[in-house]
Amino acid sequence: MNKNTINNKSVKRGLVPYLFMFLIMLGIFYVVNVMNTKVNKLTYNEFMTELNEGTIKNSTITTKSSAGTYEVTGKLKGYKKNETFFARLPKSDEVVKKIIEVSETQNFKLEVEPDPESSTFLVVLVNVLPFVLLIGFAFFFFNRQMAGNKSSLDFGKSKAKLSNENNKVTFKDVAGLKEEKEEVEELIDFLKSPKKFQKMGARIPKGVLLFGPPGTGKTLLARAVAGEANVPFYFISGSDFVELFVGVGASRVRDMFQQAKRNAPCLIFIDEIDAVGRQRGTGLGGGHDEREQTLNQLLTEMDGFGENEGIIIIAATNRPDVLDPALLRPGRFDRQVTVNLPDVKGREEILSVHAKNKKLGEGITLKNLAKRTPGFSGADLENLLNEAALLAVRRNKEAITMSEVDEATDRVLMGPAKTSRKYSENDRKLVAYHEAGHAVIGLKLDNANDVQKVTIIPRGSAGGYNMMVPSEEKLCSTKTDLLEEITGLLGGRTAEEIIFGEITTGAHNDFEKATKIARAMVTEYGMSDLGPLQFEQQDGSVFLGRDYNKSQHFSNEVANEIDMEMRKIIDTCHKDAHNIINKNKSLLKLIAETLLEYETLTKEQIDYLVENGKMPEETDDQVLEKMSITKLKELAKEKGIKNYSKMSKAELLEELGKLEK
């Protein structure tokens, strides 16, 4: 049976309810019309009186052979629109002749119809069709009820879905995961040619656990394995197993493995397995019976199928630390693959995949864009290019320029700009010097993060924004790196103290980050006078809250020493920030005053500003870009542009740009 036949049947099934609804509405319309029609019954004498008096407008004579009578219907003069009469007359030629004579003399419309009972089809239509419609509607309703009950009784069936072959993903679609792809290539070889492994007596891993931050490509990698091996790909979420009724999850696990065995070799992908695979017997008041029964069944099934049945399970999670140890032992999830955030080379490869169908301007190189986005996952990079493309369309541009990329980066990290929020001049000055303080520290410290962009346009909950990225990506951070990072975070507050002699709430987030780094240096990294000791561990019960049950292996005296060491680190960095900003007050004022004028500075503009003491000369396009829409309309009026009042800012810039060229 081909797809067209299936589609035709589906269309026919879809039309049946509408056909029944149409017939029902037709019947209702007929009944309403009949109920609204007033029929006056006339006796033979009354009809003959009306006939002789000439009050009949029209009439219809119908012969009733079985009753030996004539039935006459029609309208009398003075009747309303829905009012008629009905009379039953004896079957006589004289009566008919009398009516015909009067109709000729008085010229009213007369019709003669044959006996309807003489037509077998009409008899069947009138007497049988209503019952057929009634039985058909009852059958349709009963069939729908049975289908609903059947689906409700299928709650124990697996909800694993078979991936569409038309949407096949291969390793060409997966970028930036070189080592991870090498780890799973053995699975592809086994699914393609299992006999090669059987001859050698090798046992291929039954399960592979992929774990890492969100958006790094775990699901995509699993799909690519199935696509490369060209085998069925069943995918299901961990939450699809758990139901209100106890035992349903276990039943679904059994059914899922039965389907897999019938379609072996195949691949089963369980996303967010931590929803069903958490440690048993944990939490206040015991565990969740339904979830634990489901996990027990999953453990049993993974041991139940043989080594070379051709079924491989790939699971993904962001929280491997909460999984039950029995799930991770050899023989179940034998191999664990960490899918980390991509490095600069991986980000460039990911960007090249997502940039295939996008028009990039001449000034954009994926290599530079990869350097500007440390810490971005594959999903973040895809979202970045998509946002840039949307902005380019909104601004009526033919290609994505660096302006759209910068704005898209800010949107992904901080949210859209709050251009409508009004600030006083004093607030703008405070924010400008605060952000300039961060920038000065970043420029003067060798190990501090490089300043990529500074803006005083509010985004999200922040009044300004300073984008700082590492000069180079490192696997480990030194003590000097962490101290200079804290110094950079304190640069904003220090600038406020030096310039205004006052402090504000703007450094709230800076203090949060600085305190977290300082505490980790003392309690986890052993970077203080307390020595190489670890005082805190993040091994608390996740069922009681992330930090509720944090392990603390120290006395109250040591706790006081930890606080003193943290204070010492923060105070030292604060003094360093004071010294740097005091020595570079002129640079601080230069950056702050330029920010007040331009509102946003890029890395290239900051570098030029530091070297030359002024901003680079702006092009005509940049001057126009900075103008408000009111000034642009005034300029368009002077230039004689038609319909300028109805144009958007992007349209005005385009028209003015054409005139400049």
Catalytic (active-site) positions: 435
> Which residue pairs from 546-551 have beta carbons closer than 8 angstroms and sit at least 24 positions apart in sequence?
none
Ramachandran area for residue 579 (φ above 0: left; ψ -120 to 50: alpha; else beta): alpha
Q: Which helix (H) or strand (E) holds 476?
A: none
DSSP one-letter string for 92-117? -HHHHHHHHHHHHHHT-EEEEE--GG
Give the span between the Cα atoms of 355 and 369, in whole angstroms: 12
Tokens of 275: 């929803």
* Three-point CA angle 360, 362, 365, nearest 5°: 70
Q: Within a 10 A sphere around the Cβ of 492, how many other Cβ atoms?
A: 27
* Alpha carbon 517 to its chain's center: 34
DSSP at 400: B
DSSP E strand stretches across 30-174: 38-42, 56-64, 69-76, 83-90, 109-113, 161-162
Short-list 577, 564, 537, CA closest to 437: 577
Looking at residue 341, the DSSP 8-state letter turns out to be P
Q: Is 24 helix (H, G, I), strand (E, B) or coil?
A: helix
**CB neighbour class for 474 (10 Å; exposed up to 12, middle 13-18, buried from 19):** exposed
Rounded to whole angstroms, how far apart are CA atoms 404 and 397?
10
Question: In degrees, to the nearest 5, what angle opens at C-alpha 469 toward C-alphas 463 and 475?
Answer: 140
